[in-house]
Structure 1
């Protein structure tokens, strides 16, 4: 069967399913509007809209219908990460303005990576139950890419702004033409021009980066000076029926922006505890707030060289992105060692730790006050920033919101119906109701009992199309090889073994068998991980040839002060590593 015919057949199958009547029967519906679980329901859809929701005993299902058994399962609306950035990978090299490692990886390579991997990242979002994402700050080339991916019903919906209209432009991002993520706002006269410049690319909204610097007094003076230009951007966007998202982490910049019409605060307030009057202002203006509790700590942990990832993240993040985070170990032995170690020292100092603890506490308290005060909260990660991985970071953010004092129902609303309100989509999606989009997640466990159950997904349904989540993300020989290297560097035995076949064989090249089966690997590598706290594998060179990956590796931490140079040959069969040959 030719590849062309396979694609045509798959498209035909998708269209057939989309036009068929589909029944999810005997399922418990997670009603995020009324904060209740409704058991024994049958949800019906034919294509994108939900056509019926009734007690299962009241629905007679015609013969030969497409039926999904929901017994013992929970059906909730598809989730939304309300703050991501596709111009950023989540890896170590993605923000040269924050951590400049361009001598090791040119920023042009990062730009290319973002274009080649946006579709793959979207697949990861869908696999983890997110049927839409909001990107407040992209590029003109990424807006074009958004358009080219729109027709693929097997991807989440993407809502994207153009470049951030900013009061400060980092030097590293200048002169990048249509790959530039920032456009400098220097006057009222430029405000209209910068908004109009984006209109031909059909952004879903406009984003402002309201940055002020210096001590508190200087920041307030700058904020006041910039206010006319900020207002002019907001007014011009609204004239063109575009909402405005704004980065404003100080109370006074956020208040200024909201008073001038900003619709969406993409971060929490982190410089002071907010007042009841500020909460009343947000409610009166119907402003939505995305708290992004975890993104800054991911920067700080990276700078302090103590960023770690759990099994879920190691298995579900993009392997190349998360793998770059472990490069810090060998980069500390390069010409950048002085800069990197200075950062490590600084972020280990009591003064810095106290500052981080204080801002974390302010964010947490402010979120609880806003949630209790009735402000609409939308969950978002700011994924793509250094250390904050696309898709896999979402559950960590939700759990941080829980730790702030929000309850499970508030958090489920923040991940479903509330993000839909950002762009006035709440009548189209965000909850399970007749007439709304059949963007759904079928869970094996009750999410109201435990937020971790949001990762226990049986099936994802996008635009009425049931999708086998195990087939959403394409597995490649390179991704499997990198995934196990990442877990090796993390000394995480479960994530390390996941890419391997149950009957995997390890050989000393050319043919001396040294281990057979996963359990034998578990025993030997668990012992290695326990005994080697400084274990680190650097990939010096990689060759991918069909179903084989050849890695030239330099391994440190096995013996004090000694590096082991080796070559590993990975053979892949049925999307698992079936054989490994080591050459020493």
Structure 2
């Protein structure tokens, strides 16, 4: 009798253990086939751990620990954004990841990735250029993915050739071809799979690095837009992946010759903002469309790209935003914070821009039809939301929904050589999936609908953050409403305890974004909540934000911002040119000159030739020639060996009709740099 009972208990134990064969089932769904762009009906996907274990008909039985009722909804692979910047876009300080270790600040930045990408269905991101001090941190994220964050793959810094100017923190200079090869080998030894060759690389450096990358098994992603290396030459060097569709133009037209012609055609000036630059990239496609010879060159290049298996990332929402064609504004540069492009076109120019945008999208469709593989690369702050807008823009341009979803998924994974376990819904693939509430095949706008996101086989649940959400409340609802919201959020059990790191990041973003009143309010919230904690802001942030206010004519905000920063962050070395501007603003040119002479050798201020020269041009372009001349003359004193300071001074004198002084300065410029094209051209005119 005991034996019989034991057998029964044993059988019951075996039955119980075998009750659940799968961890997760997504039942009764439509599956998007990213290979064929077709939809498979009446399916159930079964998942074990982080992997798709089986795909069966909806009517077939199964045993799973958890089941999601699909109700005939669409399931797609997780999206991939092949061009993001995860450091600067979140207000992070470029050179100091150490500053984020307090209060688990590095995890806070990773949570921002989840908020901005994974929350919208982007399960994989490729970081296309970051400051090198961050490589160890982000490489650790790459090696240790989690279900709560998007997969990240990095390429290190953006490679540029040695130049006699200050580089952005994420641009890494190589001195010569052999030094470039050494950099490729260094990255390979550190475990990087990708590298980015940027537009400022000289041809010899580019060729050497592309060649070494092939030897080291590194995939090159290339941004070429300044006539040093063309896309065609990049392909000849073995490069397949190119950044931004708009970079086609300098590969068929020399910018030195055609940029002035394009500007003349549309009666526009050289760009003074990043948004005007993006708009002018759109204008260029209207310029190409107007000339059959240029269009034929474009078709020849697209044919070569298709034949060689080359791919293009999009940056579509950024250029569409600059042209006023997107429902969601983004820009290549998030700062200053804004929701509309910084452009100033009249109605005629805007109509021309609309037509140029149509040409731009027409050529994207032609490229696709010829066989050029397109992939999404948003290259902007709110990449996940921008990603969804790009899908809508592709569809509006004539791409089918299936083609659009293929661009969002398989094309990107294939280009990045990640398609062995991602990009398809197949047995053996990683279970990174999107289940849409509303079907995009009914209308593409449904990509914006609610969705269940499955990452590594688990349902993703966004984490709330008081510090992060405060930024949005301040900008959207104002200071007083944000204080009331904050008080309520602190007592709301759905929010975790406020993180110092998240609040500090919000303060940093608002200061860097030129939102003076909101930044000061956030800073006061931070100091009241954490009086024992310190907060620092660097001179670069103060300077960049101030100049944006100057360009926008926000002098009242500028004074408040500048004085607040000087009082609260005395350790931040202010750039000397900016301080000169503030003195001129208050007391005129003489006050600015006295200030410059008093502090030109003082370590309290940062002396930078390019910054002061930029200030001079800021005056010159706004019609304040006397101030421009004064500033350019100041720049001669500490930099008498620079040809460029004399060239700029000559231009300013010419602007006021003083031809003799203009000649003297252009001649001095040419003595220092006989190859200066601007100096030669100016003296010929004179």
CA contact (8 A) 2:81 2:377 kept: yes
**1:198: Cα distance to partner?**
2.0
Paired residue for 2:477? Answer: 488
**1:75: Cα distance to partner?**
1.0
Paired residue for 2:520? Answer: 540
User: For the structure 1 residues 32 and 182, does the alpha-carbon distance in structure 2 shift closer, same or farther, using more than 3 Å as the test?
Assistant: same
Partners of 1:547 and 1:152 lie apart in 2 by: 34
**Aligned pair partner of 2:134 in 137, 142, 146:** 142
Partners of 1:170 and 1:417 lie apart in 2 by: 41
Partners of 1:359 and 1:158 lie apart in 2 by: 35
**Aligned pair partner of 1:260 in 230, 234, 237:** 237
Partners of 1:227 and 1:461 lie apart in 2 by: 44
Paired residue for 1:156? Answer: 150
Partners of 1:323 and 1:192 lie apart in 2 by: 34
Partners of 1:169 and 1:351 lie apart in 2 by: 39
**Aligned pair partner of 2:160 in 137, 158, 166:** 166
**1:159: Cα distance to partner?**
1.4
Q: Secondary structure at the match of 2:442?
A: coil
Paired residue for 1:475? Answer: 465
Partners of 1:206 and 1:294 lie apart in 2 by: 24
Aligned pairs for 1:424-439 within 5 A: 424-439=417-432
**Higher RCO, 1 vs 2 (CA within 8 Å, ≥6 residues apart):** 1
CA contact (8 A) 1:208 1:246 kept: yes
Paired residue for 1:521? Answer: none
**Aligned pair partner of 2:300 in 269, 272, 277:** 277
Paired residue for 1:121? Answer: 112
**1:409 and 2:421 matched:** no
User: For the structure 1 residues 354 and 73, does the alpha-carbon distance in structure 2 shift closer, same or farther, using more than 3 Å as the test?
Assistant: closer
Q: Is the helix fraction higher in 1 or 2?
A: 2
Q: Is the strand fraction higher in 1 or 2?
A: 1
Partners of 2:154 and 2:336 lie apart in 1 by: 26
Q: TM-score, normalised by structure 1?
A: 0.64
**Aligned pair partner of 2:206 in 230, 246, 249:** 230
CA contact (8 A) 1:371 1:377 kept: yes
Q: Secondary structure at the match of 1:54?
A: strand
Q: Which runs of 5+ in 2 are unaligned?
A: 1-19, 250-287, 289-294, 492-514, 532-554, 561-686
* Deviation digits for residues 204-258 of structure 1 (CA, Å, limit 9, x no counterpart): 211101238xxxxxxxxxxxxx333211111101100011100024797111111
CA contact (8 A) 1:255 1:278 kept: yes
* Deviation digits for residues 289-316 of structure 1 (CA, Å, limit 9, x no counterpart): 1121232465x58xxxx99985xx89xx
Partners of 2:312 and 2:77 lie apart in 1 by: 20
Partners of 1:54 and 1:413 lie apart in 2 by: 23
CA contact (8 A) 1:326 1:489 kept: no
Partners of 1:309 and 1:110 lie apart in 2 by: 35
Q: Secondary structure at the match of 2:89?
A: coil
Q: Secondary structure at the match of 2:385?
A: coil
**1:30: Cα distance to partner?**
1.6
User: For the structure 1 residues 500 and 70, does the alpha-carbon distance in structure 2 shift closer, same or farther, using more than 3 Å as the test?
Assistant: farther
Aligned pairs for 1:80-229 within 5 A: 80-89=80-89, 117-124=108-115, 125-149=117-141, 150-167=144-161, 171-173=165-167, 180-211=169-200, 226-229=202-205
User: For the structure 1 residues 497 and 208, does the alpha-carbon distance in structure 2 shift closer, same or farther, using more than 3 Å as the test?
Assistant: farther
CA contact (8 A) 1:89 1:390 kept: no
* Deviation digits for residues 393-435 of structure 1 (CA, Å, limit 9, x no counterpart): 2122222223333222111011111111122222211011111
* Deviation digits for residues 311-357 of structure 1 (CA, Å, limit 9, x no counterpart): xx89xx9xxx97960599xxxxxxxxxxxxxx96x733689868966
Partners of 1:118 and 1:309 lie apart in 2 by: 27
Partners of 1:24 and 1:32 lie apart in 2 by: 18
Larger Rg belongs to = 2
* Deviation digits for residues 352-394 of structure 1 (CA, Å, limit 9, x no counterpart): 868966764553232111111111111111124xxxx232221
Q: Secondary structure at the match of 1:393?
A: helix
**1:348 and 2:332 matched:** no
* Deviation digits for residues 485-524 of structure 1 (CA, Å, limit 9, x no counterpart): 222379xx9x99999989x9xxxxxxxxxxxxxxxxxxxx
Aligned pairs for 1:350-429 within 5 A: 360-361=357-358, 363-384=360-381, 389-429=382-422
Q: Secondary structure at the match of 1:262?
A: coil
CA contact (8 A) 1:368 1:406 kept: yes
CA contact (8 A) 1:79 1:131 kept: yes
**1:481: Cα distance to partner?**
3.0
Partners of 2:71 and 2:347 lie apart in 1 by: 53
Paired residue for 1:240? Answer: 216
Aligned pairs for 1:443-458 within 5 A: 443-458=436-451
Paired residue for 1:520? Answer: none
**1:293 and 2:316 matched:** yes
* Deviation digits for residues 150-184 of structure 1 (CA, Å, limit 9, x no counterpart): 2423211111101111147694546xxxxx31122
Partners of 1:359 and 1:183 lie apart in 2 by: 34
Q: Secondary structure at the match of 1:347?
A: coil
Partners of 1:422 and 1:432 lie apart in 2 by: 18
User: For the structure 1 residues 170 and 281, does the alpha-carbon distance in structure 2 shift closer, same or farther, using more than 3 Å as the test?
Assistant: farther
Q: TM-score, normalised by structure 2?
A: 0.55
* Deviation digits for residues 92-147 of structure 1 (CA, Å, limit 9, x no counterpart): xx9xxxxxxxxxxx876899689675302321211111110112212333332223
Partners of 2:434 and 2:196 lie apart in 1 by: 30
**1:35 and 2:37 matched:** yes
CA contact (8 A) 1:245 1:266 kept: yes
Paired residue for 2:337? Answer: 325
Partners of 2:486 and 2:406 lie apart in 1 by: 35
Paired residue for 2:27? Answer: 25
Paired residue for 1:530? Answer: none
**Aligned pair partner of 2:459 in 458, 466, 476:** 466
User: For the structure 1 residues 327 and 130, does the alpha-carbon distance in structure 2 shift closer, same or farther, using more than 3 Å as the test?
Assistant: closer
User: For the structure 1 residues 326 and 233, does the alpha-carbon distance in structure 2 shift closer, same or farther, using more than 3 Å as the test?
Assistant: same
CA contact (8 A) 1:488 1:496 kept: no
User: For the structure 1 residues 112 and 349, does the alpha-carbon distance in structure 2 shift closer, same or farther, using more than 3 Å as the test?
Assistant: farther
Give the CA RMSD over aligned residues: 4.4
**1:89: Cα distance to partner?**
1.2
Partners of 1:376 and 1:430 lie apart in 2 by: 15
* Deviation digits for residues 6-60 of structure 1 (CA, Å, limit 9, x no counterpart): xxxxxxxxxxxx9952111111112222222222211011012211111111x21
Partners of 2:326 and 2:408 lie apart in 1 by: 25
